[in-house]
C-alpha cells in the first residue's frame, strides 16, 4: 500500500500576536517541521526616502525618529552625523557627549523592549512587566531631556536641540540603579530557567560565514563570534574616549543573542556613567543676576533701547529653540550657515536677524554643499547607515537609510528551514525586527 | 433591518444599563499593532499606566473573541485589506479605536502608500490623536469609550 | 571611514569587478542603492527643468505635484545656486544615464571584527532594458536589495526574470522613488472590496512534494 503525503502551507499572516509589527511568513510545513519559508515585508512602507526628498534638511528629523521607533535618538544622531560629514561641521564636545548619552539611552530602551517582548511570547509575563517598567523610567528621563518620550527629534544639523537640565545627572544615576535591579531580576528569572533554555538554546543557529554573507551586523553577528561593532571599527562622536566592552557570543543561537543583548544593556549603562563624568562643563542655566524678565526685555526693545539688549540675557525657558547664547554654544556649533542664532542676536542685531531669516525662510534655509556622504552608526540592531546625496539645495536630493534588520530578515529562511514551528517565536523575537526600519 | 423604536419599560432600561456596565468593564481589546504607537500601547498596558484597571488587560489575539479593535500605528495600503478583513470577522457588539494620528487622518504621511485615516475603510468609535499619544491620553480616551459603550448599549438587540 | 570609489560599466564589467572584489576578501555587501539623476543633470538649455521634462512622458506632465510657493518649484527639483564652486559645478554636469547604482562592500575579518576597508562600486544604468547582472550568487542579501531597487526605481536585472516587488504591493503601478513620481499621488485601495481580485494568496502555492511507498 502506498501513501502520499503533502506538505501543508501555513500563513503566519501580516497580523500575528507577537507584538513585533507586521510581517508575513508563508511556511511550508510537514507536520511541525518547517520545510521552506517565504518572507513578505513591506506592510509598513511609509515612504521615508521620498519624504526626505521633499523636506528641508532639519525637517527630515521627525521622519528619522520613526524609522527604528524603539531607539529614535540613534536614528536622529545617525542622520545628523551623515549630513554634518558632508558639510564639514563638527559640533562642540558637550553636544557630542549629549548625543552619545542619548544614543545609549535609546540602545537601552531598544534592548529592554526586545528582551521583554520575546520573553513575553515565550510565556514569561513577569519579565515583560519588569523590563517595561525599567523602560518607563528611561522614557521619563528622555522626556525630561528632549521633550518627548518616543519620537524625540532631538538632534539638529549642527548640534542638539537644547542642553540637559541641571538635575539630569542625579536623576540618571538613580534610574540606572533601578534599571540594574530590573535587569538583575529578569536575569535571575530567565538565564538559568529550564523552560527558557529549552526553547532558546540551540535554536535559530547561523554560522559566521552565513551571517557575513547576508550582511548581518549588530548583536546578531556578535552572537556568532565576530566582534564587529561600528563604535569600535569606525569610532564616531566621542566613543574612542570611552571604555566599554563588546559582548561576543560563540554559537550563534538565540540564547547567545539574548545574552549579548543583556550584556550590552550593562555596557550602555557604563558608557552613560562615564559620559556624565567626562562631559565638559557648561552652564545649565544662567545666573539669576544676569537675567531680566522677558517682559522687561520686550519693553526695552519697544522703547528703542536696542543697544542695551546686547548686554542682557533674557530669561526664557530653556526648551525654546535659540535660548541663551551661552547655553547654546555648548551643545551646538556656531556655524551660522546651519545653526539658528540665539534670540539675543536675532532681536538685537541686524546680522542675527538676517541669519535667522536665511535659515528659516522658505527656499532659503540651510544649504549643505553638493556631494555625497555615507555615515554608519551602531543602531540597536546593527550598522545603521545613511547615504546622503545633496545637490547644494535646501533639501536633500536623496536619503538612503541602510536598515540593519533587513539582513536577518532576509536570512530568516536559512534560520528557520529544518526546525520546528515552535522555534519561530524565539528566533523571530531575537531578530528584533522593527517594521519602521525594515520597510521605511 | 428594522430598527424601529420600541418604547422601553423600566425593566429593559435597567437591563440595558446593566449590560452596558458589564461590557464597559470587561473590554477585550484586539491590538492591531503596526508601528511606533505600539510602544505607547505597550507602556499603557504594562504596570505603570495599567490597562488592567479598566478590565482591558488581556488582549485577545483572535478577532472572533475580541470586541474592541484597537488600530495602533500607521495603516498602509498593503495592510488595509487585512484590517478590513479582521474588522469583518469580529462579532458585534464591536468598537474601533483609532490610536495615534496616523490612523485618525494619516498623520504627516501624506504619501502614496498610507491610508489617510482608517475611517475611510472601517467605522471608528474613538479617535486618540497624538504622535504617539501619551499613555494618559490613551487612558482618557478609553474612559470616553467606556461612557460610549455604556450609552450605546441597546441590550440584547445589539 | 575611508571608502575607495570605483566606477565601471554596468553589466558584465560590473559583475566581474564585484567577483574580483569578493575574491580579494570583501565578504560583506553592506548596501546596494540607486540614485535617480534626472532632476539635477543640466540639459543643453542649462536649467534643470529640461532634463526633468525629458524624463516625464508628455501625458503625465500635469501629474507632477507643485507647491504653492513664490518660485513655483517642483518637489525634488533643486534650484541650482547662482554661484557654484568648481566641485559643485561638477555635480551639476549631465550624467551619461538616468540612474546610478551604488554597491557598498566591506571587508570584515571574522576572527577579529576589524573592518579592513570599504569600497564603493558605482555604475550608470540606463532606464528601460535590463543591463545589470544579479549579484545574488556572490552575496545572498543582494536578492532582496535588487528587489527593492526594482520596486522603487524600476531598474531591471537581466538574469532575474521573476523579480518581485519587495516593499509595495503587486498591484501598485509605477516606481515611487523616481523623480517624476509625485509623493501625494494616490492609488486605489486593493483588497476584497475590489471584487476582481482573488481573495486568497496567489503567490507561492505549494505543490505536493513527498510521496511515500
* pLDDT for the residue numbered C191: 65
A62 to chain B: closest CA residue: B108
Least trusted range by pLDDT, from A305-309, B18-22, B76-80, C194-198: C194-198
Mean pLDDT over C20-27 rounds to 88
A2 to chain C: closest CA residue: C213
Nearest to C122 by CA among A82, A387, A79, A370: A387
The bridge status of strand B29-33 relative to strand A4-5 is unpaired
Whether A17 sits inside 8 A of B61 (CB atoms) is yes
A198 contact partners, CB below 8 Å, separation of at least 6: none
Touching C: A residues 395-434, CB under 8 Å: 395, 397-398, 400, 402, 406-407, 410-411
Spatial contact of A215 and A74, defined as CB atoms under 8 Å apart = no
B31 touches chain A (CB under 8 A): yes
Question: What's the distance, CA C57 to chain centroid?
Answer: 20
Q: Round to whole Å and give the CA distance between A39 and B49.
A: 35
Spatial contact of A402 and A388, defined as CB atoms under 8 Å apart = no
Indicate yes or no: pTM above 0.90: no
Contacts of C183 in chain B (CB under 8 A): 110-112
Mean pLDDT over A86-104 rounds to 88
Q: Round to whole Å and give the CA distance between A86 and A95.
A: 18
pLDDT of B92 above 60: yes
Beta strands in A22-98 (DSSP E): 24-30, 33-40
Spatial contact of A190 and A105, defined as CB atoms under 8 Å apart = no
Contacts of C120 in chain A (CB under 8 A): 374
Radius of gyration for the alpha carbons in chain A, expressed in angstroms and rounded: 24
Q: Which three cell numbers stand for residue A311?
A: 548686554
pLDDT of A165 above 90: no
Least trusted range by pLDDT, from A282-286, A310-314, C30-34, C167-171: A282-286
Chains touching A (at least 3 CB pairs under 8 A) are B, C
Nearest to A163 by CA among A318, A24, A17: A318
Spatial contact of B113 and B77, defined as CB atoms under 8 Å apart = yes
Whether A44 sits inside 8 A of B34 (CB atoms) is yes
Work out the pLDDT band at A142, boundaries 50, 70, 90: very high
Instruction: Say how many Å lie between the first and final Cα of chain C, rounded.
Output: 60
* pLDDT for the residue numbered C55: 43
* pLDDT for the residue numbered B56: 84
Which CATH class for the A48-281+368-438 domain? mainly alpha
* pLDDT for the residue numbered A48: 92
Burial zone of B71 (CB within 10 Å; 0-12 exposed, 13-18 middle, 19+ buried): buried
Least trusted range by pLDDT, from B144-158, C83-97, C107-121, C157-171: C83-97
B118 touches chain C (CB under 8 A): no
Mean pLDDT over B132-156 rounds to 86
Q: Residue A47: which of B38, B61, B113 has the nearest Cβ? A: B113
Give residue B142's region: left, alpha or beta (phi > 0; psi -120 to 50). alpha
Residue with cell 549603562: A269
pLDDT of A167 above 60: yes
* pLDDT for the residue numbered C71: 34
pLDDT of B15 above 50: yes
* pLDDT for the residue numbered A8: 85
Give residue C105's region: left, alpha or beta (phi > 0; psi -120 to 50). beta
* pLDDT for the residue numbered C202: 42
Whether A227 sits inside 8 A of C115 (CB atoms) is no
Spatial contact of A252 and A205, defined as CB atoms under 8 Å apart = yes
In angstroms, what separates the C-alpha of A341 from chain C's closest C-alpha? 23
Cα angle A127-A129-A131, degrees, rounded to a multiple of 5: 65
Whether B121 sits inside 8 A of C176 (CB atoms) is no
pLDDT, one tens digit per residue, over C95-142 is 788 889 999 999 988 888 788 888 999 998 888 888 888 888 899 999
Mean pLDDT over A239-259 rounds to 91
pLDDT, one tens digit per residue, over C48-97 is 444 444 444 444 444 433 322 323 344 445 555 555 666 667 777 777 88
pLDDT, one tens digit per residue, over A386-404 is 999 988 777 888 999 999 9
Instruction: Say how many Å lie between the first and final Cα of chain A, rounded.
Output: 54
Work out the pLDDT band at A333, boundaries 50, 70, 90: confident
Whether A391 sits inside 8 A of C211 (CB atoms) is no
Decide which of A243 and B14 is more confident.
A243
Q: Round to whole Å and give the CA distance between A155 and A74.
A: 10
**Domains (ranges, CATH) in chain C?**
3-153 (3.30.460.80)
Contacts of C189 in chain B (CB under 8 A): 77, 80-81, 115, 121
In angstroms, what separates the C-alpha of B71 from chain A's closest C-alpha? 11
DSSP letter string, A219-251: HHHHTTT----HHHHS--TTGGGS-------SS
Chains touching B (at least 3 CB pairs under 8 A) are A, C
Touching B: A residues 104-163, CB under 8 Å: 113, 117, 128-129, 132-133, 135-136, 139, 149-151
Q: Round to whole Å and give the CA distance between A38 and A40.
A: 7
Give residue C74's region: left, alpha or beta (phi > 0; psi -120 to 50). beta
Q: Round to whole Å and give the CA distance between A59 and A71.
A: 19
Touching C: B residues 31-50, CB under 8 Å: none
C174 to chain B: closest CA residue: B112
B22 touches chain A (CB under 8 A): no
Mean pLDDT over A95-110 rounds to 93
Q: Residue A2: which of C39, C108, C213 has the nearest Cβ? A: C213
**Domains (ranges, CATH) in chain B?**
27-152 (3.40.50.12280)
Give residue A334's region: left, alpha or beta (phi > 0; psi -120 to 50). alpha
Mean pLDDT over A244-267 rounds to 92
In angstroms, what separates the C-alpha of B33 from chain C's closest C-alpha? 18
pLDDT, one tens digit per residue, over A175-225 is 999 999 999 999 999 988 898 998 898 888 999 999 999 999 999 999 999
Work out the pLDDT band at A3, boundaries 50, 70, 90: confident
Work out the pLDDT band at C181, boundaries 50, 70, 90: confident
Least trusted range by pLDDT, from B14-18, B23-27, C205-209: C205-209
CB atoms within 10 A of CB A403: 25
Amino acid at each position: 500500500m502506498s501513501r502520499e503525503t503533502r506538505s501543508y502551507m501555513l500563513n503566519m499572516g501580516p497580523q500575528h500576536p507577537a507584538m513585533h509589527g507586521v510581517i508575513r511568513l508563508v511556511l511550508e510545513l510537514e507536520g511541525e517541521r518547517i520545510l521552506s519559508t517565504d518572507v513578505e515585508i513591506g506592510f509598513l512602507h511609509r515612504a521615508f526616502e521620498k519624504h526626505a526628498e521633499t523636506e528641508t534638511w532639519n525637517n527630515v528629523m521627525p521622519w528619522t525618529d520613526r524609522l527604528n521607533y524603539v531607539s529614535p535618538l540613534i536614528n536622529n544622531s545617525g542622520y545628523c552625523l551623515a549630513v554634518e560629514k558632508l558639510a564639514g561641521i563638527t559640533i562642540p564636545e558637550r553636544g557630542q557627549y549629549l548625543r552619545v548619552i542619548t544614543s545609549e539611552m535609546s540602545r537601552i530602551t531598544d534592548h529592554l523592549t526586545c528582551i521583554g517582548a520575546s520573553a513575553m511570547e515565550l510565556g514569561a509575563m513577569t519579565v515583560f512587566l519588569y523590563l517595561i517598567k525599567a523602560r518607563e523610567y528611561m522614557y521619563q528621563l528622555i522626556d525630561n531631556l528632549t521633550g518627548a518620550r518616543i519620537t524625540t527629534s532631538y538632534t539638529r544639523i549642527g548640534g542638539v536641540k537644547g542642553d540637559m537640565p541641571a538635575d539630569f545627572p542625579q536623576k540618571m544615576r538613580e534610574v540606572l540603579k533601578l534599571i540594574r535591579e530590573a535587569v538583575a531580576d529578569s536575569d535571575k528569572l530567565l538565564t538559568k530557567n529550564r523552560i527558557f533554555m529549552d526553547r532558546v538554546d540551540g535554536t535559530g543557529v547561523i554560522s559566521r560565514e552565513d551571517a557575513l554573507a547576508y550582511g548581518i551586523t549588530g548583536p546578531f553577528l556578535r552572537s556568532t563570534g565576530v566582534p564587529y561593532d561600528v563604535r569600535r571599527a569606525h569610532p564616531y562622536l566621542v566613543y574612542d574616549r570611552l571604555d566599554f566592552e563588546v559582548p561576543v557570543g560563540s554559537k550563534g543561537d538565540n540564547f547567545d543573542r539574548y545574552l549579548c543583548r543583556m550584556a550590552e544593556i550593562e555596557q550602555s549603562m557604563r558608557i552613560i556613567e562615564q559620559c556624565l563624568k567626562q562631559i565638559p562643563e557648561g552652564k545649565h542655566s544662567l545666573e539669576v543676576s544676569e537675567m531680566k524678565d522677558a517682559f522687561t526685555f520686550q519693553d526695552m526693545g519697544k522703547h528703542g533701547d536696542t543697544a542695551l539688549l546686547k548686554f542682557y540675557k533674557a530669561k526664557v525657558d530653556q526648551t525654546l529653540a535659540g535660548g541663551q547664547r551661552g547655553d547654546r554654544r555648548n551643545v551646538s556649533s556656531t556655524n551660522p550657515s546651519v545653526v539658528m542664532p540665539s534670540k539675543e542676536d536675532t532681536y538685537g542685531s541686524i546680522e542675527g536677524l538676517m541669519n535667522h531669516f536665511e535659515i528659516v525662510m522658505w527656499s532659503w534655509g540651510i544649504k549643505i554643499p553638493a556631494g555625497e556622504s555615507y555615515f554608519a552608526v551602531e543602531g540597536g540592531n546593527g550598522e545603521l547607515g545613511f547615504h546622503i546625496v545633496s545637490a547644494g539645495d535646501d533639501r536633500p536630493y536623496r536619503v538612503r537609510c541602510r536598515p540593519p534588520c533587513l539582513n536577518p530578515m532576509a536570512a530568516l529562511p536559512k534560520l528557520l528551514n529544518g526546525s520546528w514551528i515552535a522555534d519561530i517565536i524565539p528566533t523571530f523575537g531575537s531578530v528584533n525586527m522593527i517594521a519602521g526600519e525594515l520597510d521605511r | 433591518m428594522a430598527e424601529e423604536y420600541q418604547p422601553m419599560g423600566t425593566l429593559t432600561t435597567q437591563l440595558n444599563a446593566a449590560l452596558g456596565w458589564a461590557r464597559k468593564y470587561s473590554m477585550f481589546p484586539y491590538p492591531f499593532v503596526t508601528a511606533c504607537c505600539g510602544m505607547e500601547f505597550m507602556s499603557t498596558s504594562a504596570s505603570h499606566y495599567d490597562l488592567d484597571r479598566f478590565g482591558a488587560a488581556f488582549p485577545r489575539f483572535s478577532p472572533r473573541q475580541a470586541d474592541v479593535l484597537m488600530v495602533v500605528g500607521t495603516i498602509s495600503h498593503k495592510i488595509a485589506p487585512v484590517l478590513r478583513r479582521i474588522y469583518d470577522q469580529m462579532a458585534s457588539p464591536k468598537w474601533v479605536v483609532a490610536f495615534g494620528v496616523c490612523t485618525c487622518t494619516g498623520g504627516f504621511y501624506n504619501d502614496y502608500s498610507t491610508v489617510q485615516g482608517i475611517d475611510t475603510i472601517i467605522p471608528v468609535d474613538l479617535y486618540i490623536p497624538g504622535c504617539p499619544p501619551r499613555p494618559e491620553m490613551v487612558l482618557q480616551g478609553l474612559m470616553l469609550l467606556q461612557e460610549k459603550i455604556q450609552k450605546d448599549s441597546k441590550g440584547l438587540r445589539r | 571611514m575611508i571608502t575607495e570609489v570605483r566606477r565601471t560599466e554596468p553589466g558584465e564589467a560590473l559583475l566581474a569587478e564585484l567577483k574580483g572584489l569578493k575574491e580579494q576578501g570583501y565578504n560583506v555587501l553592506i548596501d546596494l542603492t540607486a540614485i535617480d539623476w534626472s532632476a539635477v543633470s543640466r540639459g543643453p538649455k542649462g536649467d534643470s527643468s529640461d532634463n526633468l521634462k525629458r524624463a516625464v512622458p508628455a501625458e503625465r506632465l500635469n501629474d507632477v505635484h507643485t507647491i504653492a510657493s513664490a518660485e513655483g518649484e517642483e518637489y525634488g527639483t533643486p534650484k541650482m545656486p547662482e554661484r557654484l564652486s568648481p566641485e559643485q559645478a561638477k555635480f551639476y554636469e549631465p550624467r551619461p544615464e538616468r540612474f546610478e547604482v551604488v554597491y557598498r562592500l566591506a571587508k570584515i575579518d571574522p576572527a577579529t571584527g576589524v573592518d579592513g576597508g570599504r569600497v564603493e562600486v558605482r555604475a550608470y544604468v540606463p532606464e528601460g532594458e535590463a543591463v545589470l547582472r544579479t549579484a545574488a550568487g556572490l552575496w545572498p542579501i543582494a536578492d532582496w536589495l535588487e528587489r527593492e531597487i526594482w520596486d522603487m526605481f524600476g531598474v531591471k536585472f537581466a538574469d532575474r526574470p521573476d523579480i518581485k516587488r519587495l516593499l509595495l504591493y503587486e498591484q501598485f503601478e509605477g516606481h515611487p522613488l523616481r523623480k517624476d513620481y509625485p509623493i501625494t499621488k494616490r492609488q486605489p485601495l486593493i483588497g476584497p472590496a475590489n471584487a476582481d481580485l482573488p481573495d486568497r494568496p496567489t503567490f507561492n502555492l505549494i505543490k505536493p512534494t513527498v510521496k511515500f511507498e
